[in-house]
Structures are given as C-alpha cells and as structure tokens.
A and B are shown apart, each in its own frame.
Chain A
Amino acid sequence: MRARLARVARRLGGNRAALAGGVIVGLFVVVAVLAPLLAPHSPITGDLGPIRPGVVPGPSAHHPLGLDLQGRDLLSRVVYGARYSLLIGVASVALGVALGVVVGALAGGLGGWVDSVLMRAMDAMLAIPGLIVAIGLVTLLGPSVLSVTVAIGTGGMPLVARLMRGAIVSQRPREYVAAARALGASRARVIVHHLLPNSLSPVLVAASLAVGGAILEAAGLSFLGLGVGDPSLPEWGRMLADSPRALQSSPHVVLFPGLALVLTVLGFNLLGDGLREALDARLVDPLRLGPPKA
C-alpha cells in the first residue's frame, strides 16, 4: 500500500500540469484559512461615500482590487469568498462520495433485486440535470451553506454509485473473493474488507475531478439567487450576480471574483486529471464521468 502511494505521488510530482494544479489549490486553501489575516478590510461592511451612479473606484493603493457596488473592499471579499467555494466544493463531494459508495457497494455487493431497485433509482436521478436537482433541493431546504452542500452532494451521488457498483462487480469474480468466502467470511465482511478497498481508485479519481464541477454548480445556484443565504456574504457566485449593473461602469467588480472562481476550478481539474493518469484509472474515462457542470 505504501509503495503504491509513493508511486502515485512520484507520478503526480512528475506531471507538470498536475503540479501546477496542486500549487493553485494549495494557494487558495492558504488564502481561505488565513482570510482574516490577509483581508485588509471588512468583507461585509463598506463605505458608500466614494460610490456615485456609474462610478465605482477601481484598483488603488488602498484597495488593491477596488471597491464593489456597495463600497466594500473587493480584495477582502474575494479572499473570504475562497472559504465558501472550497468548503462547499470539498464537503459536497465528500458527501456525494459517502452516499454513492454506500449505495454502489450495496448494489454491487448484494446483487439481485437490491441491485436493480437501487440502480434504477440512480438512473432516474441521473436523468435530471444536476443544477435542476440542486435548485429543487435548495428551494426545499432554504438557502444556506449546508443546504447548498447537501443539494450538490446528493446530485453527485448517482455517478459515484454507478462507478462503485461497476468496480465491485468487476472485482467479485476474482479468486481472492472466493478465498475469503471459503475461509468463512460473511457477505458483509467481504464487501467492507475486500471489495470496497480494492474498488476505490476510480471513485477517488471521479471525486477529485468532481470538486471543480461542484464549485461551479454552487456558484451557479448562488448566481440564480439560491446560494448561501444572506446576499451580503462574500460568495463568488453571488458577487457575479452584480454583472448586469457592473458591466458598463465597473467591470472589475465582476472580473476579480470571476477570475478567482476560474483559477480555483482549474486547479482542481488539473489535479484531478493528474490523479487519473497517476492511478492508471482508465476505468474512469470521460464518457463515464457524465456531462460537465454549468
């Protein structure tokens, strides 16, 4: 196991694109963690004094990225925004993986009618675009960080369940499984101790590739007005919703949060692609990862 980890790490290190992705992600993690130290001003309160219709001050020495439409320091808001995107992106994928692994392992491990019922349900969920599922769930739960996370995680579950089931079904006829059964291991033990650990690498790759999509989906929800709740919170998607008013006079208000969003998602995508190559996970070709997120 350790030797395998070392090999994966070495391959990742040798992949320049993956390395760049790792650096970008690491940078944003640091920014998110140290946000209170890095942000020069408050992300929530601003001063409407310098704001005139059609005039929003751009970058200056005092405000490196300028002000937003409510006179708040944009750099501080972009810095704090990293917290929401990273938290929602990682937590929702973790939730989707947890749910999907359980469903997929049950379906693949038990087979029979459990398998068909669970997988039909997953197919039905896959038939609805992720953003629509998320819109439905967030209207149900009310806008908040938690409900956005739950909504996106639930939407990601069926794909993981499918991958997990596929991997387990391909492992089941292996000799080590028969050997474990012959030694008297129960069905549950075979699933948890033998099938699961040997089927995880495609799921890991899918998860690492899903974080970027989850961040985009959260931003889309927020852009639609179904985000983290209080509209004054510095969430990147919410900040982009200012775009119609900012277009003529103050494009920087949208440009900087948008670029932060693109960079973060790009970092995760590069890292995920690298991980796929390092793990030799040809099982996870893009065909089986489903269509891209808005």
Chain B
Amino acid sequence: MRALVLRRLLQLIPLLLGLSIVLFAWVRALPGGPATALLNSDQQGNAAASAAEIDRLYGLDQPLYRQYVTYLDRLVHLDLGQSITTRQSVASEIRRRLPATVELAGAAFAIAAGIGVPAGYLAARHRRQWFDHGSLAASVVALSVPVFFLGFLLKYLFVVRLGWLPGVGRLDVTREISHPTGLYVLDAVLTRDGPTLVDALRHLVLPAVALGVVPLAYIARITRAAVLEVLEEDYVRAAMAFGLRPLTVAWKVVLRNALPPVTSVLGLTVGSLLSGAVLVEIVFAWGGMGSYLQQAIADRDYPVLQGVVLLLTAMVVVVNLTAEVVHGVLDPRVRPE
C-alpha cells in the first residue's frame, strides 16, 4: 500500500514540473505582459521609461531560466501576486472564495455518486428492460444540456414561477453566522444552528442539482458498463448457484468487483465538476471561484486568471491522485508488486 502511494507521488513530480513549465510559458506569453497591464491601469509618465522600470522591478529583464526559478519559488510560497484592478492579494481572495466552490462541487458530487451508482447498477441488473432504456435515454439528454442552461431552467421554474427556493447567493443576506470552516452547511451543523442549516441547504439545492446532473448521467453509464462486465463472470453465477441471497450477491460479489474501477473514474469527474461549478456559480451568484474568474476575464486581470487556473489544475491533479490511491486500496490487483 505504501509502495503504491509512494510510486504515485514520485510520478507526480515530472507531471507537476511539466505543468509548471506550461503555466510559466503561458503567463509569459499572455498579451502585453505585466508591464503594459500595470501601465494601462496607471496611465502616467513616459511609457517607454516606465515599462523598462517595471520590467526591472518585476525581474522581467532577467534571463528566462532565472525568471522560471523565481516563479517556482513564489509558487512554493503560495505567492500568487495581487489583482491588477483591486490590488488585493490573489491568494487571500482565493482562500476566501474556495470554500464556496468546494461546498457546491461536493454537494453536486454527493448527488451524482449517490444516485448515479445505484441507478447504473439497477440498469445493468435489469438490462434491456424499461429502467435500463429509460435511464439510458435520460442520460443521453442530460449529457446534451449545458450546465448553465440547466441552472437557468431550474431557477426559472423553482424561483421565479413557483417561488419555493431562493435563487441568489449562499445564505439569506440578513443572516449572521460564524464560519469555522467556510462551508456553510458544515458551519451550521458545527454551531448547532438549525435555521441557518435549513437556509444554507435551501440555497444549495438548486445549484448543486444543476451541477450534479451531468456527472450523474456519466457515473450511471460507467457503473452500468462495469456491472455488466462483472455479471458475465463465472464467480457471480457460482455465488448465485450457491444459493446466496440476492442482496448478498449484489453487495459482496458484484459491486465489490465492479466498483474499484469506477472509483478512478469518479476522480475524473471532479475536473468537469470544477469547471462546471465555474459556470453554475455565475447563474446563481454563488460567491466562489466562478464569479472571480468571470470578473478577471472581463477586466483582463491576468494575475487573478493565473491564480485561478493554477489552483483548479492543482486540485484536479490532487483529486485524481487520491482517486487512484483509493482504487488501489479497494482493489489489490492494481497495486504494484
């Protein structure tokens, strides 16, 4: 087990180095570079002279490899620079907003995996019957709807038409709560604040459903394929012939063998959850990374853009690593000798 984790961590080093080189090249190649961006925001003095000045100030006159080393050094110290428009530190703004995105993506993941795995299992067990056909048709449609359009539809139906749920933000604006973690649902549970918990959940449900539907369809399809493969195995027939109860066969034989490969796929959905969250957050004015990214794009605020892209990439890499390790824990066959 330790060997698996160690090997994965070692494989992470070239991947992270490669990614950091790509990101560094990207930052350097962005139109204008920091000098013009800063000059545009200040609009004063002799432009040529100040550009040279800024280049020296930010170390842009150094050779490229020196700049890369400086860049790595700053990354290691979590120094992501400051926003060009607000002058706020990018790292602290991300720290403030990250819990919102994590809460949304986590809730969507819970919906997707919680419904997707059982649905995929049922579809496989009742292959070519109505549930299988129905869930397949539903998944084809779900995979064709853009998350931000689904968010709009849900909001129109449940907020504007029916008025059942709030459609903006994470909490009622008048509500004061303490934030030990920044995950409002968890905060409310920890502080035993019932009304706040209800309010946070009411705000969470629509964006989480909008974000969760696409991964749900995907997870259901993957689970169905994995279960179908296992159902053909002789050991399943043997277990049934042995007279084991159907539920025991389902849990201990079929899912025990079908789920490990599914776990590494679950890791892959996190990438689409995070990029989908960026889009859904904009629809629901959810104060997370999405609106930050959208604002940065509108303002051409490159330090913010870099910071957000870097963070999302790092999260995806770490989650995929975790998923592979979990796969190894559940399935000894993929562990290295």
Interface residue from A135, A142, A247 paired with B155 (Cβ < 8 Å): A247
Given A129-B271, A248-B160: A243 touches B218 (CB 8 Å cut-off): no
Complex partner residue of A220 from B148, B153, B298, B316, CB under 8 angstroms: B148
Q: Which residue of chain A is the closest to B275 with respect to CB atoms? A: A131
1/0 contact string of B130-151 vs chain A (CB within 8 Å): 0000000000110111111100
Cβ contacts A146-179/B at 8 Å (1 or 0 each): 0000000000000000000000000000000000
Report if B101 contacts A (CB, 8 A). no
Please tell me which one of the listed residues B155, B214, B297, B312 contacts residue A132 in the complex, with CB atoms under 8 A apart: B312
Q: In the complex, which of the residues A129, A142, A270 has the most CB atoms of chain B within 10 Å of its own CB atom? A: A129
A130 close to B (CB within 8 Å): yes
Min C-beta distance of B209 to chain A, whole Å: 15
Q: Are B272 and A139 in contact (CB under 8 A)?
A: no
Binary flags per residue of A258-281, CB closer than 8 Å to B gives 1, else 0? 100110011001100100000000
Would you call B282 and A247 a contact (CB within 8 A)? no
A212 contacts partner chain B, Cβ-Cβ < 8 Å: yes
A128 to B311, CA, bound (A): 11
- Choose, from B18-26, B41-49, B68-76, B170-178, the stretch at the interface: B18-26
Minimal beta-carbon separation of A122 from chain B (angstroms): 11
> Are the CB atoms of A266 and B278 closer together than 8 Å?
no
Per-residue interface assignment for chain B, residues 298 to 326, with 1 indicating a CB less than 8 Å from any chain A CB and 0 otherwise: 10001001000100110011001000000
Given A223-B282, A224-B297, A287-B222, is A135 in contact with B309 using a C-beta cutoff of 8 Å? Answer: yes
Minimum distance in angstroms from B224 CB to a CB of chain A: 9
- Chain A at the B interface: mostly helix, strand, loop or mixed? helix
Which of chain B's residues have a CB closer than 8 A to the CB of A270? 140
The answer to whether B146 and A219 touch across the interface, beta carbons within 8 angstroms, is yes
Contact residues in B for A220 (Cβ distance below 8 Å): 146-148, 275, 279
Select which of A128, A212, A243, A248 is within 8 A of B148 by beta carbon. A243
Q: Which A residues are CB-close (under 8 A) to B186?
A: none
Q: Which residues of A contact B (CB under 8 A)?
A: 17, 120-121, 123-124, 127-132, 135-136, 139-140, 142, 212, 216, 219-220, 223-226, 237, 240, 243-244, 247-248, 251, 254, 258, 261-262, 265-266, 269-270, 273, 285-287, 290-294
A-B contacts, 23 listed (Cβ < 8 Å) = A128-B313, A131-B278, A135-B293, A139-B30, A140-B31, A212-B144, A220-B146, A225-B294, A240-B148, A240-B149, A243-B152, A261-B146, A261-B149, A262-B141, A262-B149, A273-B140, A286-B222, A286-B225, A287-B226, A294-B214, A294-B272, A294-B275, A294-B279
